[in-house]
Chain A
């Protein structure tokens, strides 16, 4: 890359990262959640990218960090004077302690058995949540307040963003540096061939426990940062959704690229936040995107961009067009179906003698009986499919 391109990229990244300092609470909150998700997914991917260990229970370590931080802030309210900037470290600490305990057990096995053990641990903690009132606060959870610290009030979220940004930078730097250390190299080799590594004299179980502890500590740090921002946490953070999020984000972003998971996490968190106001079907679209990426872009979005072969501009545009056409008609179909199959629509139909009354979607009045309503999206989808089919044919002949 040319020097001035690099400088421009660094400047742009800096501007994007610092911009939320000027945002209102609504968007500072979004920026915080994107950064936290990015750090969490990257921490999760330490295990997968290096050692090929797929954890299905990382919500536990994230949640451990969140609870530790909220409890510490409550202690702060009671008179303990830990500066707010150091509070997220409590998340990293509790994540690493739980990580050593759970990691020791889970890494006794590799492959599918490892995944199953992490899943079982997560289910265990999740079911424990509502029962252990003193620690997890039951259904209501635990709440606390940020106290002013170091001359800043930390009342507005853009001030909190500063802490989140700083600690995320430390977290990402750790992940980047770890890959270069001897232990990082050994962990990488472990993912390829654990048996061979043992015959070189390495205790592979210990390597896996170290790696798991580091991954859990950084997950705990991410959870701790969210804890500082949200000031509240309940046991649902241990639920399947928070363990699934880093898995989906990592594979959509690109598991074998250092910052692929961070990109995927920021992208999906950002989209999720914006689109959850517009549609109730965001999780469905995220699921479909996940399936499609795993099927057609196994290297993930960033991975395909970096490693994929260079295409002529015309083909890249055609490909994007095909994807847009297909996804637009898919979204139209899903949204229409969610309206037409809803209870309110069927009661509306009943009041109109069972006729297919028109419905509103994307600010348009649509009649379910009209051929154009279904024909246009169908034609769009077919066009998209034909374009991508032609592109594929050309690729194979080339």
Chain B
């Protein structure tokens, strides 16, 4: 059984077809990268998988269950978590409270109004452990909106991982980072996603080649190649469409 499976998925916005028949399979426990030039439809594909958009046609299954008609919250509850390309956090919440939202969701604490959030010891411990993992423990009481960019990305990652998802979708986790920050983030992602399924959109080829087991190349809404990193690097069509300019 595959973790993520798309068959003949299309997505149309008005008269323009952004996704034009995508078949994609991501195996359980695999780290899979989705690359492609700007405007190829990578983010749209992410939004389709995570339930933000519904496909115009075709089928999407997550862990063998059909998901293309489900709401984002249902998909999230099935163990699929995503991060956002444009940092999307809660401006009025502290770092600690932000991560706690994710941890509470994972613990199934939702409509609880008879006790304080601070009194849940198990939740608090998980939050502290996660903050330690992403090196934000010393920033716990800072407002999320006041963090520098790279720390916001780390926080985004921590919230995503707080759900303890089986399938993780990361949209450009190293965008806008310096080389060192990107390397740190890759190490972090590698460590924290061990044993889980990862689908990542990424522009930085060094990140893709060092992190991922397989790569799919999306061009003009279609996947033109899927394979191991060295196969992709040798593929003539890929080089022509994308890598020729991007990599060398």
Contact = CB atoms under 8 A, between A and B. Distances in A.
Given A180-B116, A199-B76, A200-B159, A186 B110 contact: yes
A201 B105 contact: yes
B93 interface: yes
B118 interface: yes
Contacts of A392: none
A366 interface: no
A119 B117 CA distance: 34
Given A186-B101, A199-B50, A193 B117 contact: no
A201 B181 CA distance: 29
Given A183-B112, A183-B113, A184-B113, A193 B101 contact: no
Nearest to B74: A201
Nearest to B109: A182
Given A178-B113, A202-B110, A196 B91 contact: no
A364 B132 CA distance: 73
Interface string A174-202: 00011011111110110111011111111
Interface in A183-238: 183-186, 188-189, 191-193, 195-204, 206-207, 210
Contacts of A203: 73, 110
A185 B89 CA distance: 14
Contacts of A193: 88-91
B104 interface: yes
Interface in B66-86: 71-73, 76-77, 81-82, 84
Contacts of B110: 182-183, 186, 202-203
User: Majority SS of interface residues in chain B?
Assistant: loop
B13 interface: no
Interface residues of A, number: 27
B51 to A, nearest CB: 8
B92 interface: yes
Interface string B93-137: 100011011101100011111111110100000000000000000
A320 B12 CA distance: 60
B117 A200 contact: no
A181 B90 contact: no
A203 B74 CA distance: 9
A132 B83 CA distance: 53
B163 interface: yes
Contacts of B82: 199
B111 A192 contact: no
B97 A201 contact: no
A195 B86 CA distance: 13
Interface residues of B, number: 36
Contacts of B81: 199-200
Given A181-B116, A199-B81, A192 B163 contact: no
A181 to B, nearest CB: 5
A192 B92 contact: yes
A201 B77 contact: yes
Nearest to A196: B88
Contacts of B84: 196
A201 B90 contact: no
A198 B109 contact: no
Contacts of A181: 112-117
B113 A202 contact: no
A202 B159 CA distance: 13
Nearest to A200: B105
A182 B72 contact: no
Contact of B101 (A178, A185, A206): A185
A197 B114 contact: no
A200 B102 contact: yes
Contacts of B109: 182
A67 to B, nearest CB: 27
Nearest to B111: A183
A55 B88 CA distance: 26
Contacts of A191: 92
A180 B117 contact: yes
B93 A192 contact: yes
Given A182-B117, A192-B93, A198 B76 contact: yes
B231 to A, nearest CB: 33
A200 B101 contact: yes
B93 A188 contact: yes
Nearest to A189: B90
26 contacts: A177-B116, A178-B113, A180-B116, A180-B118, A182-B104, A182-B109, A182-B115, A182-B117, A183-B111, A184-B113, A184-B117, A185-B117, A188-B93, A189-B90, A192-B89, A193-B88, A195-B72, A197-B101, A198-B73, A199-B50, A200-B73, A200-B81, A200-B105, A201-B73, A201-B163, A210-B111
Interface of A: 177-178, 180-186, 188-189, 191-193, 195-204, 206-207, 210
Given A196-B88, A199-B52, 20 more contacts: A180-B116, A180-B118, A181-B112, A181-B114, A181-B116, A182-B113, A185-B101, A186-B101, A189-B93, A193-B88, A193-B90, A195-B72, A195-B88, A199-B50, A200-B81, A201-B77, A202-B105, A203-B73, A206-B111, A207-B111
Q: Which 7 A-B pairs have the closest CB atoms?
A: A201-B76, A192-B90, A180-B116, A198-B72, A182-B112, A201-B77, A183-B113
